[in-house]
Amino acid sequence: MHITSNSWLNIDKPSGCSSALAVNLIKKITKANKVGHSGTLDPFATGVLPIALNKATKTCQYIENRIKKYYFEISWGEFRDSDDITGNVVESSSLRPKTEDIVDILPRFIGKISQIPSIFSAVKVNGQRSYHLARQGIDVQIKARQITIFKIKLVFNDKQRAGLEVVCSKGTYIRSLARDIAQTLGVCGYVSLLKRLQVGDFSISNAISLAKLKNIVKYDCPGNLLLQLRDVLNFIPEIELNNFDASKINNGQFIKLDNNFANISTCNKSSCGILIKVINQGVLISLANLQNGLLKPLNNF
């Protein structure tokens, strides 16, 4: 089956598969013209990987900015150079944190905090991915970045490991968060399990495996698996245009809006305007910028 719609899939990525490999596999399964993902997951990690098909790939950046939720486990007793299970041991200790000590220090990580990503991350240093440089033995210096932790809670803790859930902003490295928690506790620890539970409205509760996707597409019944652009981008305000104005947008022309849309044009004080979904006959046809009553198409579908 050849999926031609501009839509999204909610994939539960398996461990041992990179996000790029998942994209390649899904392209073969769906035969879509274009496939992209929003928010990279490390190969050892599992969970929600939002996948865009065809022209929906133009909207990946908007999904990537959504709030994310993870479950992760910290194994105690070792620091690893990658801060996760794939790395080499660089330090070990027999010290183990008490549950009450973990609970006491977690509030320090809530809010806007500074974080230094692992040198084995995809952060670019002088135009190259940090992990490429690190694997060559090159000394890598990564600058701290501001992230936001909205919630973090301890699920369990024992002598071997602890399980935690975190709700965080784009740009948060869970491996680095686990490293910083261990350092604050005065013990060694690294991420041994990582599962993404949510990206915006994409939830693990309705994510599907690659095997299930392949089976469903094989029998030509993707049906409810395909998430429509209008629904996925429900956090972006929208306006409905008649056929005449919609044709102008489709042709890349600007439109001067009447007073019926004044509430939208004044809801954002930004000098660069506000992002709007443009709807015609119930279908999303464009993402446009609205500024001073003038609607300018950005991406047409």
SS3 135: helix
Q: Which of 42, 84, 180, 245 is catalytic?
A: 42
Find out whether 4 and 164 touch, Cβ atoms under 8 Å.
Answer: no
Of 41, 45, 39, 42, residue with least CA distance to 60: 39
The reply to whether 42 belongs to the active site is yes
Burial 67-93 (b: 16+ CB within 10 A, else e): ebbbbbbbbbbbbbbbbbbebeeeeee
Q: Is 255 exposed, middle or buried (0-12, 13-18, 19+ CB in 10 A)?
A: buried
Provide the CA 52 distance to its chain's centre, in angstroms.
12
SS3 5: coil
Please tell me the total number of residues recorded for the chain in this structure: 301
Q: What are the C-alpha distances in Å from 13 to residues 23, 54, 191, 295?
A: 10, 20, 18, 38
Let me know the angle formed at the C-alpha of 134 by 82 and 15, rounded to the nearest 5 degrees.
40
Amino acid at 96: R
Largest Cα–Cα distance of the chain, in whole Å? 72
Q: What are the C-alpha distances in Å from 198 to residues 69, 118, 169, 192, 224?
A: 5, 22, 12, 19, 19
Distance separating the N- and C-terminal Cα atoms of the chain: 21
Q: Which residues are catalytic?
A: 42
